[in-house]
Structure 1
Amino acid sequence: MERTAVNPWDWSIKLGYNQAEVIDGATRQVICAGQTAVDGQGTPQHQGDMRAQISLALDNLEAVLKGAGMDLSNVVKLGIYATDVDEALKNFDLMGMRFGPHRVSPPMTLLGVTRLAIPGLMFEIEATAAA
């Protein structure tokens, strides 16, 4: 699979994502459901701690991708939902720490929402991956 970044402007690169990517040669896609800060039994974790919730949601996303034989380097699109966008952005260094070593900057959308499906959850990340 070959990824070609499309960035008519450079401002999004500074924020850690591309405006678009052309994906050539992919033969397999994985569509991941939104991952949140829940444990293996689906119980919410880290009430009131956005940073810990982002970290656990990323752990859960990595576990799903691993189960599909992929990792964060395969992610080609992200959708992120946060109940407090400002607080999420304060902790977005976690995204760079996870995706940076894979040298990918997938296009993403970050939306502020009133609440997530399970009360107490503040952050949800969904991904499309390809190989």
Structure 2
Amino acid sequence: MKKKIINPWQWQDKRSYVQAVEVKNVESTLYISGQTAINADGISSNEDMETQLNQALQNLEQVISKAGYECKDIVRLNIYTTSKAELWPHFHIFQDWIAKHNIKQTLTLLEVKSLFETLKVELEATLVK
């Protein structure tokens, strides 16, 4: 697999994403459903945004690992949140996670009216290898 990052500008670097990723010679593609702060027993979290973001990232990592991929294989990541205002103070958690795994992904952040039950943040990913 060969990845090419396309960034006509540099400002997006501080926001932990890239403008485009071209992928050639792909062995396989993995599409991951939105991962949230739902525990192993299927119970949705009613904790704060920081706690939910950490749990959603852990759940995303677990699915990636179970599928035989690595976090660095992420090429597209969508973030859905019920409150950008609640998410922003904790966005560094996401950015640190991106840097830790050397991920270069496209990104869309959407504020939505609601998510399932008591959830505040959801992460949807596409990976290639």
Q: Deviations over 1:90-119 (max 9, x none)?
A: 21111122221222221010000010022x
- The CA deviation at 1:76 is 0.6
The match for 1:81 is 80
Q: CA RMSD in A?
A: 1.2
Gaps of 5+ in 1: none
Aligned mates of 1:31, 1:121 — CA distance in 2: 21
* Aligned partner of residue 92 in structure 1, secondary structure: helix
1:32 counterpart = 2:32: yes
TM-score relative to the length of structure 1: 0.92
Write the letter of the residue equivalent to 1:73. K
Sequence identity, in percent?
33
1:64 counterpart = 2:63: yes
The match for 1:102 is 101
Aligned mates of 2:67, 2:73 — CA distance in 1: 11
Aligned mates of 2:119, 2:79 — CA distance in 1: 13
Write the letter of the residue equivalent to 2:36. T
Contact 2:72 2:104 in 1 (8 A): no
1:22 counterpart = 2:22: yes
Residue-pair matches, total: 129
Aligned mates of 2:72, 2:85 — CA distance in 1: 26
Gaps of 5+ in 2: none
TM-score relative to the length of structure 2: 0.94
- The CA deviation at 1:71 is 1.9
